[in-house]
Amino acid sequence: MFFTSEDFISEFGFAITTSLWMIVGIAGIFAIYLVFSAAFAFIYSLYAKGKEAKGFGSLKTVTFGDESAVVANRIASVLGVVTLFFLWGLATESKLLPFSLPGPFNGTSQFEYTAKNAAGEIDKGTVTFRVSKQGEEVEKLEAPATSEGFAKDDVLMLLERRSKILKAQNNDEGGKNEGYTITEINGQPIKADDVVTVEGADVLFTKRGSFSVRPAEGMTMEALFLPPPEKVWSTFIQLHNEGYQGVSLWENVFWSLARVVIGFALGCLFGIPLGYAMGLTGWLRGWFDPIVEFMRPVPPLALIPLIIIWFGIGEQGKISLLFLAALWIMTIAARSGVSGVNISKVHAAYSLGASKRQILTRVIIPNSLPDIFTGARVAMGVCWGTVVAAELVAAEKGVGKMIIAASKFQLTDIVIVGIIIIGIIGFGIEVLMRIIEKRLIPWKGRG
């Protein structure tokens, strides 16, 4: 048996079902986002109607299917991002917006229950509850004055989105006697496990006869899951000023970048000559081919456990991991740079009197630069992704370390700041590499 778990079918079935629901949820959010897009597109089309398009492209009658006629509309880009922030704010009760989705219940409400005592008499009691934000200063509800009848009133203090259990009969006369039962909530007959929705809360009548009061959650996200944008911004400012756990934000960024740069540089230092060697001699190509082809598809992250066993969690471990991440990419890039040289160029150089050494330095190396640069761009991207992941496993400093440490205290805002910074830096690396590429090898793709 491949699948030793006897519950495999049900386990797998459960995974499929929950995934399906998740997909439905994602599709729903995406649909909302698309509706915004469509609405803006409509408004934009009204705005653009009278305006005359300029340039050669505007004279094209065939644009559908002509890839060159599809140019990213920068207005759409800006609106797309703004909408994203708008929806984010809307779902998190952002103070930046004058309105938002209905939030969780906050305030005081009550419901009434009907009880029957052992003697068969019937009486009504009132449960008053007050829901407040975490950390919010509110007046405690006072214990109710004694009322007539055997069912005494109760009070309950709640936090937003946090349920609490109340055993209402505890203070009732004869409430602990056998035969004492609660029969109704707000006049609605109940039995065990029934849920009654009252103003401001859902009340579950448990098997043991208590009320589990769950305050209404509203439609917004709890800050624990997704803090509002302004909170993330203020966290960023705070991190910028004070750092986190004694390490400043930029020190974390610096350490991550330093690891990437050193690991990448080492990868180039060894990978490029290795690639050249593999491109130039059949023996070395044969010698290293199995290793390179085997190591290339192994994701660097899969090596983390081994690296930790070998080098511990110090810097050597992380740098050697990044070195391995960059090494194979650079080797393959350099090798294909050598293989890609047009034989005419080599022949031409030989018949102009070049020696082997001159062929290497003046033809093969410059000719391989475009391929090496493409490899370098990929390697930088992979290294950046790998360093963050490696820091998640073990590090003292670094952006990845910052977010994993924050996640342990459920400081979602710091996690989100970290993710945004990681994204921006990754994007920045790519842009920088492109600029350098344009400067250094303007002939790329035009040979």
Partner 1 sequence: MSGLIIDDISMTFELPDGGKVEALKNINLNIKEGELLSVLGPSGCGKTTLLNICAGFLAQSEGQLSLNGDLVTGPSPKRGMVFQKGALFEWMSVRKNVSFGPELKGMPKAEMNEIVDHLLDVVGLQDFKEKAIYELSGGMQQRVALARCLANEPDVILMDEPLGALDALTREKMQGLVLKLWKETGKTIILITHSVEEALLLGERLIVMAPRPGRIHKEYNLPFAEMGVGADLREVKKHKKFGTTRDEILSMIWDMEEEIMGRTESA
The least CB distance from residue 366 to partner 1, in Å, is 4
Residue closer to partner 1 by CB (options 227, 370) is 370
Judged by beta carbon, residue 45 or residue 344, the one nearer partner 1 is: 344
What character string, x for contact with partner 1 (CB under 8 A) and - otherwise, covers 424-443? -----------------xxx
Q: CB of 276: closest distance to partner 1 in angstroms? A: 17
**Amino acid residing at 314:** G
Window 200 to 219, contacts with partner 1 (CB under 8 A): none
Give me the DSSP letters along 33-81: HHHHHHHHHHHHHHHHHSSPP-SGGGG-S--TT-GGG----HHHHHHHH
Between 333 and 402, CB nearer to partner 1:
333
Q: Which of residues 108-137 bind partner 1 (CB under 8 A)?
A: none
DSSP state letter for 217: -
User: Which C-beta is closer to partner 1: that of 183 or that of 358?
Assistant: 358
Cβ atoms 375, 331 nearer than 8 A: no
CA–CA dist 398, 379 (Å, integer): 19
* Nearer of residues 288 and 350 to partner 1, judged by Cβ: 350
Give the sheet arrangement for strand 201-205, strand by strand: 164-166, 211-215, 201-205, 195-198
Q: Least separation, in Å, of the C-beta of 280 and partner 1?
A: 18
Contact letters for partner 1, residues 306-345 (x by CB under 8 A): ------------------------------------x-xx
> What does the block give as tokens for 6?
């006897």
Please say which residue, 159 or 346, places its beta carbon nearer to partner 1. 346
Radius of gyration of the chain measured on its C-alpha atoms: 33
- Binding to partner 1 (CB under 8 A) within 57-76 occurs at none
Nearer to partner 1, 84 or 348 (CB): 348
Residue 355 C-beta: closest distance to partner 1, Å:
8
Q: Which residue lies nearer to partner 1 by CB, 301 or 349?
A: 349
- Both tokens of 270, joined, read 């060894």
The two structure tokens encoding residue 47: 């705005």
How far apart are the C-alpha atoms of 244 and 238, rounded to whole Å? 9
Least separation in angstroms between residue 17's CB and partner 1 is 56
Q: How far is CA 171 from CA 130, 174, 198, 208, in A?
A: 19, 9, 22, 16
For partner 1, the closer CB: 19 or 342: 342
Cα torsion at 206, 19, 90, 48 (round to 10°)?
-150
Site string for partner 1, 338-377 (x = CB under 8 A): ----x-xx-xxxxxxxx---x---xx--xx-x--------
> At its nearest, how many Å lie between partner 1 and the CB of residue 354?
6
Structure-token pair, residue 36: 């915004």
Torsion sign, CA atoms 28, 30, 36, 38: negative
Let me know: does 92 contact 227? Beta carbons within 8 Å: yes
Helix (H) or strand (E) holding 447: none
* Closer Cβ to partner 1, 38 or 348, answer by number: 348
What is the closest distance, in whole angstroms, from the C-beta atom of residue 282 to partner 1 in the complex?
17
**Residue 274: CB minimum distance to partner 1, A:** 23
- Strand 107-116 vs strand 122-132: parallel, antiparallel, or unpaired? antiparallel
Cβ pair 341, 367 in contact under 8 A = yes
Q: Least distance to partner 1 from the beta carbon of 436, Å? A: 15
Q: What letter represents residue 66's amino acid?
A: D
Q: Rank residues 60 and 347 by Cβ distance to partner 1 and give the closer one.
A: 347
Nearest approach in angstroms of CB 356 to partner 1 is: 11
Q: How many residues bind partner 1 (CB under 8 A)?
A: 22
Q: Residue 131 and residue 110: Cα distance in Å, rounded? A: 11
Pairing of strands 154-159, 122-132: parallel
The number of beta carbons lying within 10 Å of the beta carbon of residue 211 is 27
Q: Min. distance of Cβ 265 from partner 1 in angstroms?
A: 23
The footprint of partner 1 (CB under 8 A) covers: 342, 344-345, 347-354, 358, 362-363, 366-367, 369, 441-443, 446-447
